[in-house]
């Protein structure tokens, strides 16, 4: 295999790992149906802390993966973070979907509108990563 094929395989494995990580976190954090606690109680500091921690782990993983594979850091961040946003929108873990920003947008546009905005934003980020040389920060 040539290096470009290895990069594609590594990228696919990274996305699969990210998918499994978010799915595991979603399953781990979901509560059983017998628990009658109000979802708004879960959207407080615990939800924000979980969203921050998972996002930080994904960011560090993307940066480390880009360094190890020799990829452009900026392209990896665009594609990785865009994919992460799409994945969170599709799976809707409570710590993402009940976050105050998502909750505000859901009240403003409804669930379907919010999903559309997040999917378009995530898709645009992936497109930027694949097709442009836009960078994060100063170079």
Residue 42 predicted with pLDDT over 70 = no
Element (H, E) at 58: helix 45-69
Q: What is the pTM of this model?
A: 0.61
Q: How far apart are CA 57 and CA 62, in angstroms?
A: 9
What was the pLDDT predicted at 25? 58
The per-residue b/e assignment along 63-92, b for 16 or more CB within 10 angstroms, e otherwise, is eebbeeeebeebbbbbbbbbbbbbbbbeee
How many helices (H) does the chain have, and how many strands (E)? 6, 0
- Give residue 36's pLDDT band: very low, low, confident or very high (50, 70, 90): very low
What was the pLDDT predicted at 121? 92
- The tens digit of pLDDT for each residue in 46-66 reads 767 777 788 888 888 888 878
Q: Any idea which residue has 């645009």 for tokens?
A: 124
Q: How far apart are CA 95 and CA 82, in angstroms?
A: 18
Residue 118 predicted with pLDDT over 50 = yes
What was the pLDDT predicted at 35? 47
When the pLDDT of each residue in the chain is averaged and rounded to a whole number, the result is 76
Structural contact between residues 129 and 78, judged by C-beta atoms closer than 8 angstroms: yes
What was the pLDDT predicted at 120? 93
Residue 122 predicted with pLDDT over 70 = yes
């Amino acid at each position: 295999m040539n290096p470009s094929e290895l990069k594609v395989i590594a990228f696919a494995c990274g996305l699969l790992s990210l998918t499994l990580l978010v799915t595991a976190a979603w399953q781990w954090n979901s509560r059983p149906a017998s628990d009658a606690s109000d979802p708004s109680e879960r959207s407080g500091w615990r939800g924000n802390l979980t969203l921050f921690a998972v996002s930080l782990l994904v960011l560090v993983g993307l940066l480390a993966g880009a360094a190890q594979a020799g990829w452009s850091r900026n392209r990896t961040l665009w594609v990785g973070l865009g994919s992460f946003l799409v994945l969170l929108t599709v799976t809707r873990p409570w710590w993402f979907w009940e976050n105050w920003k998502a909750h505000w947008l859901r009240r403003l546009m409804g669930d379907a509108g919010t999903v559309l905005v997040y999917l378009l934003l995530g898709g645009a980020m992936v497109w930027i990563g694949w097709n442009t040389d836009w960078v994060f920060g100063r170079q």
